[in-house]
Amino acid sequence: MEAQILAALDASVNEFHGDLRRVYLTGFSMGGYGAWSLAAKNSQRFAAMVVVCGGIQWPTPKQIKKEEPYKAVASKVAGIPIWVFHGGADRNVFVTESREMVKLLRELRADVRYTEYEGVAHESWDRAYGEPELATWLFSQRLNGQ
């Protein structure tokens, strides 16, 4: 699936004369899991990423394994500017998924922002994608800062 995603991305960039320095990755819920995975394997391709209520693995809140795979993914995506959003009351994808990734990214001194919506459940994407600063932040990012 990831190979197909990248092939479709390449075809779209080519057909519509996209700027390879401004390719952004985003996903929410299961798409957020996919975004983390795709970025970890292709970090050199993305100028920035936005992850909304996504995660690395499907734990219960107390089963976060800090060493693997979280640390491995964090180390691979630390060079990408990232904005992570999550609802604090999410019972589908536990908020600990985002908190752990943000913690590890900050330890790596990555350019990461985190917004947690208190009392919001899983459907946090409307608020996240509606954030007034998101588009300005996202579109100001360029691959390798170019």
pTM of the predicted structure, to 2 decimals: 0.92
- Whether residue 114 is contained in a domain is answered as yes
- Identify which of 93, 44, 105 has the alpha carbon closest to the alpha carbon of residue 64: 93
Instruction: Determine if the peptide bond prior to 132 is cis (ω within 30°).
Output: no
As given in the structure block, the two tokens for residue 40 are 């970890």
CATH number at residue 115: 3.40.50.1820
CB 86 within 8 A of CB 95: yes
- Whether residue 139 is contained in a domain is answered as yes
Q: 97-129, pLDDT tens digit by residue?
A: 999 999 999 999 999 999 999 999 999 999 999
Q: 17-51, pLDDT tens digit by residue?
A: 999 999 999 999 999 999 999 999 999 999 999 99
CA distances from 3 to 6, 41, 42 (A): 5, 11, 11
Q: Could you give the number of structural domains in the chain?
A: 1
- Whether residue 53 is contained in a domain is answered as yes
- Whether residue 8 is contained in a domain is answered as no
List Cβ neighbours of 43 (8 Å cut-off, separation of 6 or more).
76, 77, 79, 80
- Whether residue 12 is contained in a domain is answered as no
What's CA 130's distance to the chain center, in Å? 16
- Identify which of 135, 137, 60, 120 has the alpha carbon closest to the alpha carbon of residue 85: 120
Q: In which domain, by residue range, is 63 found?
A: 19-145
